[in-house]
Chain A
Amino acid sequence: MADAGKITEKIWSFFRFVILVGISFIIIYPVIYMISCAFREKNDMNNPAVIWIPENFTLDVIRDTVKAMDFGNALKNTIILNVGCSLVQVFSCAVTGYGFARFNFRGKKFLFRIVIMMILVPPQVISLPLYTQFMNFGIKGLFTVNLIDNMLTMYLPALTGNGIRSGLMILIFRQFFRGLPKELEDAACIDGCGVLRTFISVIVPNSIPAFLTVFLFSFVWYWNDHYMSTVFFTNTKTVALVLKNIDNELKTFFNSATVEISTREQIVWKEAGCLVSIAPVLLMYIFLQKHFTEGIEHSGIVM
């Protein structure tokens, strides 16, 4: 009996290994391909001998791509706009999530339904009216300003807990705060802490994992955002936007060149563009990977 169990265990761990390696390959493949392409010369694309390791190693492709994308400027914009918004959003969602988790008030059920609605409604449905609304933003008859191309179009929703996928983040925070022991607040209350003080000096320090997890997701989703930013911006270029438009940028960049570049060869530059665009996120992921999962896994998002 025991032997049979051991053998099944052995066979299973072998299969588990095969399955995991196989699927890991599917996931890792594009990343390796990206790195491999970004450092090769375009001729290597047509060389059947080159599969992974480039024959002619070069940094020119990356240099060209960075220039074509105006990457430095895009990175600056992304940090000011997207990273800033993701930070602000974490706090606005935390405050809202805490309100839903710990207080009883009339209409709470209804308001929470709106949070669920926010998760369900795709941004495409509301982006259009949002655009016209930002075009003349303000109170009718009193003052209106055109906010299109202004960073406030992204910051205002983030500040009020209505940024990218904020419904989901409010939900995560609410679940997390509900899981915290009530005694925490009771102790603070007895010590004469006000509600806001309790939140800032007792709840927040005890919720670092949740904050970190939500921030990481918020960061990634804002970094990758190519939808909301196309709606509101015509001039400001973020990393995701320049990458989305990379075909045209490469065309303008190589306009002067006399050599024809085939679609196959273009891959070299496109993959290089992908690589530089995700490099910051990828680096962060390598170092903080554990925290992506920890907050969600250990908070026990019991619905």
Chain B
Amino acid sequence: MKKKISYSKKKSLCGYGFISIWLIGTIVFFIIPLVKSLLYSFSEVTVESGKTVTEWVGMDKYIKVLTEDGKYTEYLGDMLFETLWKTPLIIIFSMFIAVILNQKFRGRTLARAIFFLPVIIVTGPVYKIITNDMETSGNNDMSNFSTMMSTDLIGELLEFLGIYGISDKTVDIISTVADNIFGIVWNSGIQILIFLASLQNIPRSAREVAEIEGATSWEYFWRVTFPYISPFILVNTVFTVIDSFTSPLNTVMERISDMRNEWAFGEAAAMSWIYFVIVMAGIGVAVMILNRFVFYESE
């Protein structure tokens, strides 16, 4: 007689069934390449008549790209610094916009349509071309707009506000941020969307209680909205960083592609691992810091 399989066992078999295709694919197209890539970074890789031959050289490639490739280290420093200051700004900006777009006002649908527009363009080569073109074509409105936003205006604004004598460095930083408003706005689409989705999680009762208690909007934001969306700050931080990996403007990744085109596989692998590990370590630290401020609703 056939043995009866228990219900839960049957269910778990079905589970394997559903993920089996993915599992095979992941082993072939993700796990093996990942391990190989790590192996390449410790090896001298040569391609002979269509076959790849690897020869273990230890840390040589890492040392080589870090000490001899000036371009790589320069780009790496630039990209890491950029990620460091841009990510918090993108998070703050997208949170702010999400809160605004969640309010009820006329033309909200149109506003949302416009704010998500970058999502469909920013990952492609179009983004790079338009940023370059706007730089070359000097006297257009955009540059007037950004000149208006940068040094002069900010210097004058600070003077107007009676803030003198702050170091040049601070002014520099403020102007860089202002000059990069374009980049920040254009890279915030998905983050705004995720924050908007998280805003839907706030129960109606919270709003009602706040109204009865007479909370101002300011208090409401910090006491209700912020705790509810704080877990998503983490999600968005991670997403922003990962997104910068595949950006067409990422110079480190371009350098890695160049190395690959020169058949320097070992170097290319070492470069990508250095970048990846540093960024992951950064994310780890960010997660630890953010976790202290995150509010998790107990279920």
Instruction: Please give the residue numbers on chain A whose beta carbons come within 8 Å of chain B beta carbons, in ascending order.
Output: 12-13, 16, 19-20, 23-31, 33-34, 37, 45, 48, 51, 92-93, 95-96, 98-100, 102-106, 108, 111, 114, 117-133, 135-136, 146, 156-157, 159-162, 170, 195, 199, 220-221, 223-227, 230-231, 240, 243-244, 246, 263-264, 267, 270-271, 273-274, 277-278, 281-282, 285-286, 289-290, 292-293, 296-303
Inter-chain contacts of B193 with A (CB < 8 A): 292-293, 296-297
Instruction: Say whether, besides A133-B36, A267-B133, A160 and B113 are in contact (CB < 8 Å).
Output: no
A91 to chain B, nearest CB (A): 10
Q: Does A30 contact B26, Cβ atoms closer than 8 Å?
A: no
Q: Does A129 contact B197, Cβ atoms closer than 8 Å?
A: no
Instruction: Say whether, besides A26-B182, A128-B269, A224-B123, A160 and B100 are in contact (CB < 8 Å).
Output: no
Q: Does B242 contact A120, Cβ atoms closer than 8 Å?
A: yes
B138 to chain A, nearest CB (A): 8
> Which of B25, B134, B257, B276 is packed against the most chain A CB atoms within 10 Å?
B25
Q: Does A227 contact B246, Cβ atoms closer than 8 Å?
A: yes
Instruction: Say whether, besides A124-B257, A157-B25, A243-B129, A29 and B30 are in contact (CB < 8 Å).
Output: no
Roughly how many angstroms separate A30 CA and B29 CA in the complex, as a whole number?
37
Roughly how many angstroms separate A99 CA and B139 CA in the complex, as a whole number?
56
DSSP majority for the B interface?
A: helix
- Does B186 make an interface contact (CB < 8 A)? yes
Instruction: Say whether, besides A129-B33, A133-B36, A300 and B117 are in contact (CB < 8 Å).
Output: no
Query: Which residue of chain B lies nearest to A106 when distances are taken between CB atoms in the complex?
Result: B12
Instruction: Say whether, besides A122-B272, A264-B136, A26 and B181 are in contact (CB < 8 Å).
Output: yes
B111 touches which one: A24, A162, A270, A271 (CB < 8 A)?
A: A24
A90 to chain B, nearest CB (A): 13
Inter-chain contacts of B12 with A (CB < 8 A): 103-106
- Does B86 make an interface contact (CB < 8 A)? no
* 9 closest Cβ pairs, A-B complex: A160-B25, A103-B15, A99-B18, A224-B124, A129-B36, A122-B245, A129-B33, A105-B12, A161-B22
* CB 8 Å contact bits of B113-130 with A (1 = contact, 0 = none): 111111111011110111
Inter-chain contacts of A263 with B (CB < 8 A): 136
Inter-chain contacts of A98 with B (CB < 8 A): 18
B121 touches which one: A25, A278, A286 (CB < 8 A)?
A: A278
- Chain B residues numbered 191-217 whose CB sits less than 8 Å from any CB in chain A: 193-194, 196-198, 200-201, 217
Q: Does B37 contact A267, Cβ atoms closer than 8 Å?
A: no
Inter-chain contacts of A16 with B (CB < 8 A): 100, 103, 105
Extra A-B contacts (18), CB below 8 Å, given A12-B217, A195-B18 = A26-B181, A29-B145, A31-B117, A104-B8, A105-B15, A120-B242, A121-B30, A129-B40, A131-B260, A161-B26, A162-B30, A170-B22, A244-B125, A270-B129, A274-B130, A289-B112, A293-B193, A297-B196
Q: Does B256 contact A124, Cβ atoms closer than 8 Å?
A: yes
24 contacts across the A-B interface (CB closer than 8 A): A16-B103, A16-B105, A51-B140, A102-B15, A118-B26, A119-B242, A122-B242, A126-B34, A128-B37, A128-B265, A129-B32, A131-B260, A133-B28, A135-B50, A156-B29, A224-B120, A224-B121, A224-B123, A225-B123, A263-B136, A267-B136, A282-B120, A292-B193, A297-B196
A195 touches which one: B14, B22, B111, B198 (CB < 8 A)?
A: B14
- Does B77 make an interface contact (CB < 8 A)? no
Query: Which residue of chain A lies nearest to B133 when distances are taken between CB atoms in the complex?
Result: A267
B287 to chain A, nearest CB (A): 12
Q: Does B248 contact A226, Cβ atoms closer than 8 Å?
A: yes
